[in-house]
Amino acid sequence: MQSSQEVANACARFRLARNDPMEKPASHPNIPSPRIGVLLINLGTPDAPEPGPVRRYLKQFLSDRRVVEIPPIIWQPILRGVILTTRPKKSAHAYAQIWTPEGSPLAVVTRKQSEALQGAFGPDVMVDWAMRYGTPSIEQKLSTLCDAGCTRILIASLYPQYSGATTATGFDEVARVLSKKRWQPALRTLPPYHDDPAYIDALAASVKDGLAKLDFTPDALLASFHSMPLRTLELGDPYHCHCMKTARLLGEALGQPLTVSFQSRLGRAKWLEPATDKTLEGLPGKGIKKVAVFTPGFSADNLETLEEVAMQGKESFIESGGESFAYLPCLNASETGIKMLRTLLSRELAGWVSAP
């Protein structure tokens, strides 16, 4: 192996032989001007509301060891033999209920968030977006940023509350992709922002705006978070604690306590409770006939919020004796939501770029 001095001497001899110390050799790869990248990451979505694309998406998603921690020798036969033969058709029907002319709501919103932030941090900062599962992939978009000259990249996973099954797996994929690159960019990651004042203020403003548009006054406000297996809490995952702190701070900002529940369970294992569907079914029996539901664990509306809560949840609540039900949308690409993201991202870009 050559020493650094031997390499330097060889380079010097090469330049002298060409009689032009500044000119790059013809074989030298093109190196674009240095830029800074911001990559927004969300969970993922099928490419179409059809069984085939849904099956491909579920296979990738449910094969992630961060998502399903059952040993593969036990889990994979279940996944391939039962889940992937029965669930895609049902899930495709659910996706079809919320699909838009532009595509999946989660992908559409995340793209719009990226577009709204483009140029927000100066001309040398490039903002893009990717999905952990499905398309556009993290690998594809990291390559795009690197090819564009981004030598410094902020990875912004849009999960307010940290979980190994969401935030961590995104970082895992970034590391896997970059492990194959000879020239790696400098990285920063957006921390969990479950209790950040900018996030709580944005949520409070959004909820207040949604409530002001209703033609009824809710008897209760229900904050529904995505559930996780109880085992993750017992193993030290902070997700449950982050959710409860978000709900407490948001309740204080709104001036009233919130009812907290957890949705989207899968399988027979014990999950975080109380369950959103059971909570909604039980509220009318407690005299709560009017309810407004929102989902502060999601940065963008998706299947779990639009179909599971806004549609199925409403149906269950009304059938159980409820009178009025409202679903309040996520921050999405609203002016309030984009302002919040700009605040968080500007903070993490400090030292790389000047404050806008």
Share of the chain above pLDDT 90, in %: 87
Q: Grade residue 27 by pLDDT with cuts at 50, 70 and 90.
A: low
pLDDT at 355 over 70: no
Residue 266: pLDDT above 90?
A: no
| SS3 readout for the chain | CCCHHHHHHHHHHHHHHHCCCCCCCCCCCCCCCCEEEEEEEEEEECCCCCHHHHHHHHHHHHCCCCCCCCCHHHHHHHHHHHHHHHHHHHHHHHHHHHCECCECHHHHHHHHHHHHHCCCCCCCEEEEEEEEEECCEHHHHHHHHHHCCEEEEEEEECCCCCCHHHHHHHHHHHHHHHCCCCCCCEEEECCCCCCCHHHHHHHHHHHHHHHHCCCCCCCEEEEEEECCEHHHHHCCCCHHHHHHHHHHHHHHHHCCCCEEEEECCCCCCCECCCEHHHHHHHCHHHCCCEEEEECCCCCCCCHHHHHHHHHHHHHHHHHCCCCEEEECCCCCCCHHHHHHHHHHHHHHHECCECCC
pLDDT tens column, 166-219: 999 999 999 999 999 998 999 999 999 999 999 999 999 999 999 999 999 999
∠ Cα 53 58 62 (to 5°) = 160
Residue 9, pLDDT > 90, answer no
Q: Are 308 and 275 in contact (CB under 8 A)?
A: no
Q: What is the pLDDT of residue 32?
A: 73
Buried b (16+ CB within 10 A) or exposed e, 125-137: bbbbbbbbbbeeb
Gap between the Cα atoms of 272 and 240, Å rounded: 8
**Percent of residues, the chain, with pLDDT higher than 70:** 91
pLDDT above 50: residue 7: no
| CATH topology match: 35-194+336-349 vs 197-327 | yes
What does the pLDDT read at residue 211? 98
**Average pLDDT in the chain:** 93
The answer to whether the beta carbons of residues 295 and 332 sit under 8 Å apart is no
What backbone torsions phi and psi does residue 220 show, to the nearest 5 degrees? -155, 150
Q: pLDDT tens digit string along 311-333?
A: 999 999 999 999 999 999 999 99
- What residue spans define the domains of the chain? 35-194+336-349, 197-327
Assigned token pair, 25: 């050799």
pLDDT of residue 88: 97
Question: Which numeric CATH code is attached to 197-327?
Answer: 3.40.50.1400
The model's confidence at residue 28, banded by pLDDT at 50, 70 and 90, is low
Q: What pLDDT, on the 0 to 100 scale, is given for residue 37?
A: 98
Q: What are the pLDDT digits (tens) for 80-116? A: 999 999 999 999 999 999 999 999 999 999 999 999 9
Nearest to 340, CA basis, from 210, 225, 205: 205
pLDDT band per the 50, 70, 90 thresholds, residue 356? low
CA 1 to chain centre: 45
* Reported confidence tier of residue 1, pLDDT bands at 50, 70, 90: very low
Give the model confidence (pLDDT) of 269-301 as tens digits.
899 999 999 999 999 999 999 999 999 999 999
Please tell me the distance from the alpha carbon of residue 265 to that of residue 242, in angstroms, as a whole number.
18
Give the pLDDT of residue 354. 77
Q: Do you find a cis peptide bond into 21, omega within 30 degrees of 0?
A: no
What is residue 24's predicted lDDT score, i.e. its pLDDT?
65
Distance between CA 196 and CA 331 in Å, rounded?
15
Q: pLDDT value at position 267?
A: 77
* pLDDT of 29 higher than 90: no
Instruction: Provide the pLDDT confidence category of residue 3 given band limits of 50, 70 and 90.
Output: very low
Architecture of domain 35-194+336-349: 3-Layer(aba) Sandwich (3.40)
> What is the pLDDT, as a whole number, of residue 31?
73
Q: What is the rounded (10 degree) CA torsion for 19, 24, 25, 26? A: -130
Spatial contact of 157 and 171, defined as CB atoms under 8 Å apart: yes
- What residues have CB less than 8 Å from 265, skipping those under 6 apart? 227, 271, 275
Query: How confident is the model over 24-32, as a mean pLDDT?
Result: 68
